[in-house]
Amino acid sequence: MIRETVLNTIREHHLIEKNQHIVIGLSGGPDSVCLFHVLQNLAKEWPLTLHPVHVNHKFRPGDAESDQAYAEQIADEAGCPCRTFVYDCSKIAAEEKITSEEAGRKVRYQAFAEVAAEVAAEGIPRENIKIAVAQNADDQAETILFRILRGAGTDGLSGISYRRFDEYGNEIIRPLLDVSKAEILAYCTEHDLRPCIDHTNLEPIYARNKIRLNLIPYLEKEYNTNIKDTMIRMGKTASVDKDFLWRQALETFADLVKEKSENSVLMDGAKLRRLHRAVRQRVFAKAFHSIGLTEDLAFIHFDGCEEIAFHPKPSARFDLPRGYYLTKVYDDVKAARAAPLQTRTVHVAVLSKEDYEKRKLPKDKHAVFDYDLIRAAFGENAEAQITLRKRMAGDFITIFGGKTKKLQDYLVDRKIPKDERDSVELVAINREILWILPHQGRGRYAARYKLCEDTKKVICIEINC
């Protein structure tokens, strides 16, 4: 029965194809042992190559080592050597200020990704490597109920997906998602698999355990004997809506993007504001996901993004977790993250004009000024005063005709977005800017010290990355 259910799930959701490599989480508990046994049998027909992975979280001294030994034993007996990872999850949780459950989940998926990378390094195409985990139908019901209690939206109510991609591009699949816990336990008994039992799962010490052990039995007794099936049906309905809305959002996002870089996405503000809020929120999520923010977005964040999209101020900004933010750029809207700090320095050389011309340095990769004019303005040690920095109050640059212009005015005239102005790199002596390095186009040089026919020596400035 389970075998047919799993096969139907695999086919319906395109989880596995013949000749693929399956990295499978093997905790030693009933769910993972059942999945391993089913995939072993399937591997003989398709065929498949299984790569079992066991993670010892060090939560239960003694029992954890027994689970590890059992997982390694059944993997060896199946001819699939087990890759074992050991993590002190309690220590990780304390250091990173997260729950022990979160720490355990984090290290598990890190381990799976590491093994997937090892398989890929052997020449197996990424699309032929899957990571299989053993969440079941009961887990689905518990997850949806848990999310209801936390006030989840439509995406959250859709529950656990049959397949998703992790941050490394690995496809994670859940072939047991249509199989109940009771069916899994019956399968293990029928095939004499004798999995390990984690007795902490029988104690109401975690929120998920409390839902499984206390809340669901109460709801079954007092309100709905089929509460699990009800939750699962609701999840499937929500999943259909989620799929439609995301398709709309992804198609729309491609049309909205005006500029894209590693750290930001600039979107057409007028088009964005015309969208239905349900689609617009997913566009925000997609924009942030494309620059690295793949989680930690909640209702309060989307609410803040909504406010910015319609804000009258041309540089309004809303900060999100981990240094990400949404900002108006005049009429448009930009999702961005703080650019990583660059440790660059300037190399300053005094050369004859002839030696400089022989070098034929790339344009926009250096700046050159008349040495005598610089020294007349800043003294004999002028070259030693040259620094690479970001903007400061009072900065100015000389333009043609001997006039000066405030750096602030220059940046505004160039339509450099407000959120980017502090990241523009400058070469300066005191408050006078000699060179505004290229940012969204060409840079700008101080006109007062440009070379002329009478120039004999030059100060050449190059940037060392």
Which residues belong to the annotated binding site for ATP?
27-32
**For the chain, the helix, strand and coil percentages under 3-state DSSP, each to the nearest 5:** 50, 20, 30
**Integer angstrom CA distances of residue 81 from 110, 174, 245:** 19, 22, 43
Q: Which of 50, 57, 46 is CA-nearest to residue 74?
A: 50
The closest of 52, 48, 46 to 73, measured between CA atoms, is: 52
In 3-state terms, what secondary structure has residue 388? strand
C-alpha angle 352/356/362, rounded to 5°? 165
Chain mean position to CA 61: 33
Q: Helix and strand tally (H, E) in the chain?
A: 17, 20
Distances in whole angstroms, Cα of residue 219 to Cα of each of 149, 150, 206: 14, 17, 19
Annotated binding site, which residues?
A: 27-32
Instruction: Please answer whether residues 168 and 119 qualify as being in contact, where contact means their C-beta atoms are separated by less than 8 angstroms.
Output: no
| Eight-class DSSP state of 463 | E
- Kindly give, in sequence order, each residue whose CB lies less than 8 Å from that of residue 12, ignoring residues fewer than 6 positions away: none
First-to-last alpha carbon distance for the chain, in angstroms, is: 62
Angle between helices 2-12 and 181-190 (to 10 degrees): 130
Q: Are 397 and 436 within 8 A, CB to CB?
A: yes
